[in-house]
Structure 1
Amino acid sequence: MKRINSVAVSHEEATRQKAIIKRLKHRLEEKQLTYYITTFGCQMNAHDSEMIKGILEDIGYREASQELEADFVIYNTCAVRENAEQRVYGRIGHLKSIKRKKPDMMIALCGCMMQQPTVIQELKKKHKHIDLVFGTHNLYKLAELLETRLDSGSTVYDIWEAHKEIVEDLPSIRKHKFKASVNIMYGCNNFCTYCIVPYVRGRERSRHPEDILKEVRDLVVDGVVEIVLLGQNVNSYGTGLDMPMTFAELIQEVEKIDGLRRIRFMTPHPKDLSDDLIEVMADSQKICHHVHLPIQSGSSRLLKAMNRHYTKESYLDLVKRIKARIPEVAITTDIIIGFPTETEADNDDTIDVIHQVEYNTAYTFIYSKRTGTPAANMEDQVPEAIVKERFNKILEAMDIVSLKNSEKHVGNTYELLVEEVNHKKADWVSGRLKDNHLVHIQGDESLIGTFVNVKITGSKTYYLVGEII
């Protein structure tokens, strides 16, 4: 009964929002308005921006080629690192002078950064030229908030402390015709001591499997051949469902969908990546043999301080089990350098893990103190100069193992999904192998969205060069 009510509420709210979109379309259609959105942060934010685009384009907005030409400027913000926040403040400060010349320009801020009370206080005090401010829980209300702003003429703040419902079937504009991301859950319950995500994204909430599967089927009908299943911790999928289902079980159902060629997922947590999931991956013809497995630190002492719930030894054992069942697997990771109390020995432990696992790539981050997290109050914050030295040592170790992984591909033939025109050479295109390796080949834009067989002819540290055969 609870499930039926949940769907009814979701459907009712989606219907109400679509009615508001229709009203705004009629109201604004003669103005030929444009929008420009800048996305900071993770794939979850990028996916949220696709919904923002979908709503705006259903209203009648069209995407501008440059921010300063747009009638509506939106920043979808990130709160994970301080530098991302400072970039947002810098840009909205710049827009203040632009808006004096273009008073009808609308400016909206949304995303994780907006879920922090200190940010809202700062905006209300110093940035009164902002028109709309909303957070991570009420993205689907964009049209309603825009209508309220137009009717009232005043800045609209709509920040929810918690998520109330998952609203399905709202418009979305994908970056690529042939691949798409699908949220399977929202929020996080892990409370790593350095991370603000549980505070700004809320607690874990799983989408119902039938809604996920319907979305994937609809995307495949629309031409999508590769799906990325998204969650802060996909291993926790099933939280809150009336009928229990694990992530391994969900991904098996996704695999059954005809026409879907590739399945990826982001991000599993090492503490609870199950043997069942490893077996499903090993037996699958569609799940890409790539696992993004954040280590954060190779020091068991620091991992405990980070509240990660695994040790260096248990992490390496997990990697061993994955590689035993999927020998060709590519493993990527996240690493934090300079966590409070980190020593040179801790950094050496991380370098040791890099060499043992032989990661394909690593996203390396200097620790960023986030107000409201336990780590922000820890003593023995590491001096910046020392952190930079350790950061460089991590990069040197990664360059060695990444090049080694790239070189293993030379002379072999693989299936490549071509994704885009090369950024540096107009007569070349780029794409990804199943193991997520980036490959550049000679070709034109007619290849985008297609699968081609390529022979790898050259390797660099973080990409491969190939030729179509």
Structure 2
Amino acid sequence: MQMTHTTCNPKKRAAVLTLGCKVNFYESEIMTEKLQADNWQIVSAKEHADLYVIHSCTVTAEAGRQTRQEVRRAARRNPDAFLVVAGCYAEMEHEVCEKMPEVSMVLSNRDKLFIAEKVKQSSSSIFRQQDPQQRWQADISNAPELISGYIDRTRAFVQVQQGCDQGCTFCIIHTARGPSRSYSQQHILLQISTLLQNGYKEIVICGIDLGSWGSDLVDASSGNPPNLFGLLKAMLAIPGEYRVRLSSIDPIHLDDELLDLIGADSRVCPHLHLSLQSANRLILKRMKRRYDPEFLYERVHTAQSKIPDLLLSADILVGFPTETVTQFEDTLRSIYDLGITYPHVFPYSERAGTPAARIPFQIPKQERKERVSLIKEAGDHVRQGVFLEKIGGVERILVERLDNSASKQYHGRADNYLPVYINNNVSDIGEFAHVRISNTSGKALIAQTLEQE
């Protein structure tokens, strides 16, 4: 690839822009701290910088479009900047990235965590197409250096696992990220302890397939693979006032042992974000998911019986090839049946190389959009009911920020993830506060601190 940009010079300004999942945010912080250690001044991606890193996502075609858009925006801010595209879109579409005239370097998922070293080379695009058998053989148990925290974030994401073995027919991420590999429990606990010592009150545990953590490890005492229950139990042995939230988890991993622990310890947030996708039997089978509707309903109802005040959010995929109106309605009905307060809904997006993209009967894109709207409407209906039930009650929130609007309200989230606006002065940002819910704006709960009653 022809290089037309300035070479990189230490002690200049660098910006890392993150698209996509919580794992990306954790990895972006690793890149940020490595650049800082190499004498780069970190600035916002909205500012003029000498180096821009676009940490990309490729879960949908829209995510790819956003990556290309952000590349062009960064180039407009500084046409002479050294511009790096890294992450899953770079992994899967490296040739597209290399052909963009604005791009100086393309980094694979394996190389991006060595960004400071790679940028110093800066003589050509260094994306390497590796042999599939050797591509992911690095020992992930020796995890990257610990991060100290996040810029402008009160919640700290901690990646515990990488990759996925599932191979869902619609998904490209298992190709972009490789097979499931677990970080060691020792590293994870050290990372969490570091973040707690640095003042973080919420730790969000994340992975590409979170519930598979430990499947590739061996417990020294038992000789068996450890699991997420054991990891969470070990986390909770760390003393302190904090809370732990699990990120997206497959229903297949919601075993009774894990649910009992979540329900028994108040430091574990009563919130599950389910990788649900569909609630129709045939569509789940064609997606190559690991459960059927009966299993899904049974696990959710069991979770609701074991975890007080449980709130559910979920990833939903609509318009999968061959999905009929009746099959879609099974998923729509599940929003009400299961009480999915926050459905994170996507229209199906053809990803080249996936089995689903080869299915002849593709749903028209307009129909996919309409189904997205119906799922969102169902979520709105469920959410308003939850909001009304909360009026008059007391919630513990983590204060996240001061709203910049004229109202100057503080914004936070309750343990179960509900958004809360506070009308009066509260504890410092990043601290817990107990509030009484007085109303709802339709999008969030309105509250006052108990001290002001």
- 1:109 corresponds in structure 2 to 85
Unpaired stretches in structure 2, ≥5 consecutive residues: 1-7, 220-224
- Whether the 8 Å CA contact 2:13–2:43 is kept in 1: the answer is yes
For residues 42-441 of structure 1, the aligned pairs below 5 Å read 42-65=21-44, 67=46, 69-93=48-72, 102=80, 105-116=81-92, 119-124=93-98, 126-149=99-122, 153-158=123-128, 161-166=135-140, 167-171=143-147, 173-176=149-152, 178-243=154-219, 244-425=225-406, 427-441=408-422
Cα distance in 1 for partners of 2:316, 2:429 equals: 32
Following TM superposition, by how much is the alpha carbon of 1:335 offset from its aligned partner in structure 2, in angstroms?
Answer: 0.9
Specify which structure has the higher proportion of helix: 1
Unpaired stretches in structure 1, ≥5 consecutive residues: 1-26
- SS of 2:336's equivalent in the other structure is helix
Following TM superposition, by how much is the alpha carbon of 1:79 offset from its aligned partner in structure 2, in angstroms?
Answer: 0.5
Q: Residue type of the partner of 2:338? A: V
> Of the candidates 7, 13, 33, which is equivalent to residue 34 of structure 1?
13
Cα distance in 2 for partners of 1:127, 1:202 equals: 26
- SS of 1:418's equivalent in the other structure is strand
Change in 2 beyond 3 A, CA 1:388/1:309: same
Cα distance in 2 for partners of 1:359, 1:383 equals: 26
Following TM superposition, by how much is the alpha carbon of 1:50 offset from its aligned partner in structure 2, in angstroms?
Answer: 1.0
Q: Residue type of the partner of 1:76? A: H
Tell which deviates more after alignment, 195-204 or 290-299. Answer: 290-299
- SS of 1:156's equivalent in the other structure is coil
- 1:450 corresponds in structure 2 to 431
Change in 2 beyond 3 A, CA 1:45/1:163: farther
Change in 2 beyond 3 A, CA 1:191/1:59: same
Tell which deviates more after alignment, 403-412 or 160-169. Answer: 160-169
Cα distance in 2 for partners of 1:410, 1:225 equals: 25
- 1:16 corresponds in structure 2 to none
Cα distance in 2 for partners of 1:239, 1:228 equals: 20
Cα distance in 2 for partners of 1:445, 1:136 equals: 41
Cα distance in 2 for partners of 1:409, 1:77 equals: 38
Following TM superposition, by how much is the alpha carbon of 1:412 offset from its aligned partner in structure 2, in angstroms?
Answer: 0.2
Percent of aligned positions that are identical: 27
- SS of 2:390's equivalent in the other structure is coil
Q: Which whole-Å deviations, capped at 9, do the CAs of 1:47-77 have from their partners, x for residues lacking one? A: 1111111111121222334546110011000
Change in 2 beyond 3 A, CA 1:28/1:259: farther
Q: Which whole-Å deviations, capped at 9, do the CAs of 1:117-176 have from their partners, x for residues lacking one? A: xx222233x225422211222332112101211xxx333324653251333325555135
- 1:11 corresponds in structure 2 to none
Q: Residue type of the partner of 2:232? A: I
Q: Which whole-Å deviations, capped at 9, do the CAs of 1:350-396 have from their partners, x for residues lacking one? A: 12111111112110111111111111111110112222222222222
Change in 2 beyond 3 A, CA 1:258/1:84: same
Q: Which whole-Å deviations, capped at 9, do the CAs of 1:319-376 have from their partners, x for residues lacking one? A: 1111111141111111111110011101211121111111121101111111111111
- SS of 1:190's equivalent in the other structure is coil
Q: Which whole-Å deviations, capped at 9, do the CAs of 1:421-457 have from their partners, x for residues lacking one? A: 1243462110111100000012468620111110001
Following TM superposition, by how much is the alpha carbon of 1:232 offset from its aligned partner in structure 2, in angstroms?
Answer: 1.9
Q: Residue type of the partner of 1:155? A: S
Cα distance in 2 for partners of 1:42, 1:278 equals: 24
Cα distance in 2 for partners of 1:300, 1:350 equals: 10
Give the RMSD, CA atoms, in angstroms. Answer: 2.1
Q: Residue type of the partner of 2:18? A: T
Following TM superposition, by how much is the alpha carbon of 1:92 offset from its aligned partner in structure 2, in angstroms?
Answer: 2.9
- SS of 1:447's equivalent in the other structure is coil
- Whether the 8 Å CA contact 1:28–1:60 is kept in 2: the answer is no
- Whether the 8 Å CA contact 1:110–1:135 is kept in 2: the answer is yes
Q: Residue type of the partner of 1:73? A: Y
TM, length-normalised to structure 1: 0.87
Cα distance in 2 for partners of 1:287, 1:66 equals: 33
Change in 2 beyond 3 A, CA 1:422/1:63: same
Change in 2 beyond 3 A, CA 1:291/1:66: closer
Cα distance in 1 for partners of 2:330, 2:294 equals: 11
TM, length-normalised to structure 2: 0.90
- Whether the 8 Å CA contact 2:396–2:433 is kept in 1: the answer is yes
Q: Residue type of the partner of 2:203? A: I
Cα distance in 2 for partners of 1:28, 1:90 equals: 26
- Whether the 8 Å CA contact 2:423–2:446 is kept in 1: the answer is no
Q: Residue type of the partner of 2:445? A: L
Q: Residue type of the partner of 1:341? A: T
- 2:222 corresponds in structure 1 to none
Cα distance in 2 for partners of 1:64, 1:445 equals: 29
Tell which deviates more after alignment, 328-337 or 168-177. Answer: 168-177
Q: Residue type of the partner of 1:135? A: S
- 2:3 corresponds in structure 1 to none
What is the number of equivalent residue pairs in this alignment?
432
- SS of 2:316's equivalent in the other structure is strand
